[in-house]
Amino acid sequence: MPANLTADFLKARNEFRAAKDRHDKLVALEKMLATIPKHKGTDHMQADIKRRIAKLKEETQGKSSHRKGPQLDHIEREGAGQVVLLGPPNSGKSSLLAALTNAHPEVAEYPYSTVLPLPGMMRFEDVPIQLVDLPPMSAEYSESWLYSLVRQADLCLLTLDGSLQAEELANTVEEIILLLEEHHIRLVRRKEITEEEMRVRDVPCRIVLTRGDLGDLASRVEELSDLFPVIVTSPIDRTGLDALREGVFVALNVIRVYTKLPGKPADMVEPYVLPVGSTALDAVRMVHRDFVDRLKYIRVWGSGRFDGQQVPSTHLLADRDIIEIHLS
């Protein structure tokens, strides 16, 4: 059977032949795999391209493991939480990272353009939050180290192309859920403390529908909301980006606590970020561990009945509370 190779495939093949380093070769091979006609006449060519891709990725991982810096299966956590962008090929993850952070990912129309994890810092008001763009996940192929990064994350943003039909979107979510469960990772709406086997990791999840600029996605949102909360966005016209920032902060289940010195105004620039349910003593401990042994009393502004009232160390703090620490 003739292969009937397309002009796009031939162009990608020429790019592969001209490529000088692993990254450029890998990008060209991914283009070739995306543009090659899918029929029996190209089965052997598809298999060869996939073999070459797998070999290059193994070489890339092996080379990077000898360099200084983070391993592929671990990104140093920064900010108030670590949030991974996870999704199938061409779902808009890289465009979302570029719109929300100062990172500069490669944004391309062909699938699998993201081959390495890329972190960036997003801000919700005065809180920095780390976003990590991951390579695509699908039943056809997923990086083995990708699951470790999902497992260590505080939140997963399951990013999907909003232009797809609701049924196709739901099937994609179910596919990714099953792939993660095979690696003992369970996506949940809200993480709960359970006595289940420790090897199963619960990761809170929100669905992000990109391409919200294309029109009304209400039917898709309704279909997917039974699985996880849904946020509609568009990096193109910046639709929903503020709602996404706020949704991420809420989903992380944290609060901001500010400090003040006696007789001085509060420092409202750099808050301390603590889990919901933290006490006044937890905040003191975060400010400085040595303060716990020298603590005399604590005053709180914000969540108390009276601003500036003295509270017990077990007092539960609320978002945007201000504490004043008095030491003996």
pLDDT in tens, 158-169: 999 988 888 899
Residue 63 above 60 pLDDT? no
In a domain, 74, yes or no: no
Which of 234, 251, 268 finishes a domain?
A: 251
> What tens digit of pLDDT does each residue of 190-212 get?
887 655 556 789 999 999 999 88
> Per-residue confidence at 65, pLDDT binned at 50, 70, 90?
very low
Q: Is residue 71 part of a domain?
A: no
1 occurs within a structural domain: no
DSSP classification of residue 212 = G
Band the pLDDT of 19: cuts 50, 70, 90: confident
Q: Does residue 77 form part of some domain?
A: no
* C-alpha count within 13 angstroms, C-beta hemisphere, residue 140: 14
Q: Does residue 167 sit in the same domain as residue 240?
A: yes
* CA dihedral of 278, 281, 286, 292, whole degrees rounded to 10: -160
Residues 144 and 225 reside in one and the same domain: yes
Residue 273, pLDDT above cutoff 90: yes
Q: Is the pLDDT of residue 102 over 80?
A: yes
pLDDT at 52: 82
| Pair 126, 22 in one domain | no
Domain boundary (251, 282, 314) is at 251
Same-domain pairing of 90 and 239: yes
Query: Which residue type is seen at 27?
Result: V
280 assigned to some structural domain: yes
What is residue 203's predicted lDDT score, i.e. its pLDDT? Answer: 95
Same structural domain, 303 and 261: yes
Encode 122-157: b = buried (16+ Cβ within 10 Å), e = exposed.
bebeebebbbbbbbbbeeeebbebbbbbbebbbbbb
> Lowest-pLDDT range, 52-56, 184-188, 287-291?
52-56
Mean confidence (pLDDT) of the chain:
85
CA 50 and chain centroid, separation: 27
CATH number of the structural domain spanning residue 171: 3.40.50.300
Q: Confirm if 169 and 220 have CB atoms less than 8 A apart.
A: yes
In sequence order, the β-bridge partners of residue 234 are 239
Angle between helices 22-35 and 43-64 (to 10 degrees): 150
Whole-model pTM: value is: 0.74
List the beta bridge partners of residue 157. 85, 206
Domain encompassing residue 48: 7-64
49-to-9, 35, 39, 164, 218 alpha-carbon distances in Å: 12, 12, 15, 27, 39
Q: What is the mean pLDDT of residues 123-134?
A: 94
- How many domains in the chain? 3
Specify the pLDDT at position 304: 61
Q: Give residue 172's pLDDT.
A: 92
**pLDDT confidence of 1, banded at 50, 70, 90?**
very low
- For residue range 245-262, list pLDDT tens digits in order: 999 999 999 999 999 998
Q: Which two tokens stand for residue 240?
A: 């929903």
